[in-house]
């Protein structure tokens, strides 16, 4: 399954909001330095969906706010 993420790093909270069928907005505490926000995004999505972090991969947008994430 592929989902589309609008990431908001440095927001002071971790929250996931479902916008549409496969679209989510995710607020993250981490800054986008050295991939910290991406690691936090994967952990937050794993907790949200109740799956292992290893089943989640960012396939597009690693350095941007708009991301495509694949969940296996």
Q: Please state, as a whole number, how many other Cβ atoms lie within 10 Å of the Cβ of residue 29.
A: 15
Tens digits of per-residue pLDDT, 23-48? 999 999 999 999 999 999 999 999 99
The mean pLDDT of 11-20, rounded to a whole number, is 96
User: What contacts 24+ positions apart, CB below 8 Å, involve 56-63?
Assistant: 59/2, 61/5, 62/35, 62/38, 63/32
Mean pLDDT of all residues in the chain? 96
The arrangement of strands across the sheet holding 23-27 comes to 15-20, 23-27, 2-8, 66-71, 56-60
């Amino acid at each position: 399954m592929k989902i589309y993420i609008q990431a908001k790093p440095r927001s002071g909270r971790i929250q996931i909001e479902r916008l549409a069928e496969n679209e989510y907005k995710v607020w993250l505490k981490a800054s986008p330095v050295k991939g910290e926000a991406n690691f936090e995004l994967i952990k937050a999505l794993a907790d949200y969906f109740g799956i292992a972090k290893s089943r989640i991969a960012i396939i597009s947008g690693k350095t941007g706010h708009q991301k495509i994430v694949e969940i296996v």
